[in-house]
Amino acid sequence: MTTIDDFAAGFADEAGWFDFASFGPMGTGVVQEARALTELQSRSRHGSVVALDEQAGRARRAVAALTGFPTDHVVFQPSTSQGMLHTLFGLTGALALSPREYPTTPLTATRASSALRVLDTVWLDVPDDAVTPAVLREHLTPSVTAVAVSVVDYRTGYLADLEGIRQVIGDRLLIVDGIQGFGVVDAPWAVADVLVTGGQKWLRAGWGTGFMALSDRALTDLTPVFSGVHGSEITLGGSYERGAEPAPGAAAFQLSRPDPIAEARLATSLEEIAAVGIRPVAGAVAERATRLIDLADEFAVPVASSRVESERAGIVVLEPEPQHLTALTASLMNHGVSATVRSTSVRLSTHVSNGEDSFGLLREALMSYGSAIAY
């Protein structure tokens, strides 16, 4: 069993990186694995392709270990967007979702509705931008066949109550965008019918990595519209000379053969998380998020995201007075602190590799900001 300190030592990002909700610098183990397989691929010795072929199964097993989904219910995806594309274009009926979800989901739902005309959208009226069981209860009608939600809202950092949502929606499909929480949240993933996520943020596996996990019900109800050659029975020995049926299970939801090095990066990341355990990782991230809130309070920077630990993960949103946003942004930049700045807010996001040096830089930035607005 790996300790949380050993896990944190496996990352080499420089001090001041508080933007994991945008991109998580790859872990040392991930980089080493990719380098080794890249070298293997460049030499292409006899039999070397076997090691590359093994990465697909390795990635599925790693996903299954952290989600509880069977391996044949898991398929690699190069991004959350592609996984959501497979999901929503394969869905019929009416989908309930917030219009303020990350654009991937609303955009894909709109495209699917326009293109195939078998999917309707029910837009949620979401007070405080939090998709809660109570909000969903008010919008559910017999025509709603599925609900889509982000486990963590990308703007507010709000952590959804997946178990509560499942209880409210009954046997409707629950589609979860997990990218802002998977790897740092100890969530009940098995209550989802579809879980899609990318690996470039909290998993720190780099771009081009991700997965889609489906329940038995999802495999029955979703149509694999974009089932390409690698998602067809051709890979099982079917004929190349005519159209083939989709492959059985989750394998149908893929377009082409995935990059085996990307699969290896994802698998390495997930294996390292499994070795330490998701609860210690979630606890370490929660403790660092609390430190962010405490620092904001110390320098009187308003916190717009939830202070309740059960309603947040690794994201803390600061919302200074509008006339002070530029000063805060400049101070963070001048002190080497990376964050996401939007029109009215600054989003800080933290991971286990944020040590004292990172929090020291943030303290200096906030101190400088406080001095500037006081002056």
Q: 28-276 has which fold?
A: Aspartate Aminotransferase; domain 2 (3.40.640)
- What's the confidence (pLDDT) of residue 305? 97
- Residue 133's nearest CA partner among 145, 142, 124 is 124
Question: In this structure, are residues 223 and 217 in contact, taking their beta carbons and an 8 Å threshold?
Answer: no
Q: How many Cα neighbours within 13 Å face the side chain of 84?
A: 26
**Residue type at 42?**
S
- Domains 4-27+277-374 and 28-276 equal at CATH topology level: no
Cβ neighbour number for residue 356 with a 10 Å cutoff: 9
Spatial neighbors of 333 by CB under 8 A, at least 6 apart, are none
Among the CATH numbers 3.90.1150.10, 3.40.630.10, 3.40.50.2300, 3.30.1390.20, which is that of 4-27+277-374? 3.90.1150.10
Q: What is the pLDDT of residue 56?
A: 95
pLDDT of residue 243: 63
Are 178 and 204 spatial neighbours (Cβ–Cβ below 8 Å)? no
Burial of 50 (0-12, 13-18, 19+ CB in 10 A): exposed
Q: Which residues make beta-bridge pairs with 198?
A: 210
Task: Give the sheet arrangement for strand 315-318, strand by strand.
Answer: 315-318, 346-349, 340-341
Neighbour-count burial of 358, counting CB atoms closer than 10 A to its CB (0-12 exposed, 13-18 middle, 19+ buried):
buried
* Predicted local distance difference test score (pLDDT) of residue 233: 82
Question: Using alpha carbons only, what angle is made at residue 130 by residues 126 and 133, rounded to the nearest 5 degrees?
Answer: 85
Where in the chain are the domains?
4-27+277-374, 28-276
Which residues of the chain fall below pLDDT 70?
1, 236-243, 374-375
SS3 38: helix
